Amino acid sequence: MRCNSLVHKNLARLTVALSLAAPLPLLAVEEQGELPLEELRTFADVYNQIRIGYVEEIDDSTLLEYAIQGMLMGLDPHSVYLTRDAFQDLQDNTTGEFTGLGLEVGMEDGYVKIISPIDGSPAAGAGLQSGDVILKLGKIPVKGMSLNEAIDIMRGPKGSKIELTIGRPGESQPFEVSLVRDTIKVASVRERWLEPGYGYIRVAQFQSSTGTDVSKSLKKLMTQEELKGLVLDLRNNPGGILRASVDVAGLFMDGGNVVYTEGRLDNSDMHYDADEKDSSDGTPLVVLINSGSASASEIVAGALQDQGRAVVMGTHSFGKGSVQTILPLSDSRAVKLTTALYFTPKGRSIQAEGIEPDIIVERAKVTAYKNSPRVTEADLSGHLDNANGDSGKKSRVSRKAANELLSSDNQLYEALTLLKGLNVLGMRDRKSGEEATGES
């Protein structure tokens, strides 16, 4: 009787606590009806058995925190309870600086799976790849850990070491990687010229300022010389802030829908549209993606693909098409809860499907085939110089740079080649139009 009365007492306390703590309209208790009494009784019974019978005494607040973590873990890989440290880490990530290994991770089948390493991080330097599975952190098996627990272990003071045991698809045996924690400064955006007239913008992560940063990079390239084509590189970009992805896609669109979301809450059904001006003036655009391109990256790629604004090239993206909302519980704790799904302008759900490239190009090690040495006109003694001066030398320099790009990044090489082809066709179309109208 004493045990039963204790269970009922705890059940009453728990029911009252739940009714007081439910942050309406988040849980929408009124719409769901009364809480199931039998399941609450079972929960209270299990809770009480742990309190009185577990080999080590655990205080009530810790037990309830475990219960919250387990409840969210059972939903999907991205809904988590954010403790004080995890909440602070999340805030740091959106601003672009934190201390750790430089990994974007998720849970899959009880293990921590790498979504993508962050550019310039210890993880990227060690060669960790999207799709790798972390089996052990030091000597501690990851199986059975929560995502927050694994992240807490991976985080640590700058300069401290940690050893990861990695399982990689296609490898017969796990292997170990030793990493030194460092301050991760995520350079969200950087730009450069691939060749005269052909620009490159790399977006490593979508932070609060990413839209503005991409706009600055685009303007910088366009003021330096005529922009004939542009590569937008979203490979191994794990995503980030939704608004930033809308801003980036909108830079290359003349209005229209970028993405819309659908969920159960009233404020979950949202449409995000681009501004009415294409900041790139319609410059031919290739978007590079791979299996490490997730969430906000897939929004950008999907929008530009659906709107016919860009050619998407690379490999199939990660397929994270869900919206997580941060719901603060206090100044130091919060819940990250999946509240909606993303859809591209044509109504494609990204979730567990990802973005299929228009042109599939696998990452590969490519070496240019070299013929045996041959003699050309330029090698003959007393040959006449080219009437155009040193244009031949410039051509040889260009070929050398192209071969180096082919060897180092064949996907980027193919993107550049496609842009050149589009530019040649565009020039011919313009020339044909001028001849047809008698323009000069």
Could you list the active site residues?
295, 306, 320
- DSSP string covering 256-307: SEEEEEEESSGGG-EEEE--S--TTTT--EEEEE-TT--THHHHHHHHHHHT
100: which strand partners? 182
Structure tokens that stand for 407 in this block = 């060897």
Q: What is the helix, strand, coil percentage profile of the chain, to 5?
A: 40, 25, 40
Buried-state track 66-84, b at ≥16 Cβ within 10 A, e below 16: ebebeebbeeebbbbbbbe
Quick check: 207 and 231 in contact, CB under 8 A? Answer: no
Quick check: 187 and 216 in contact, CB under 8 A? Answer: no
Among the listed residues 46, 359, 71, the one whose alpha carbon sits nearest the alpha carbon of residue 231: 359
d(CA 154, CA 184): 13
Contacts of 351 (CB under 8 A, 6+ apart): 319, 320, 321, 322, 341, 342
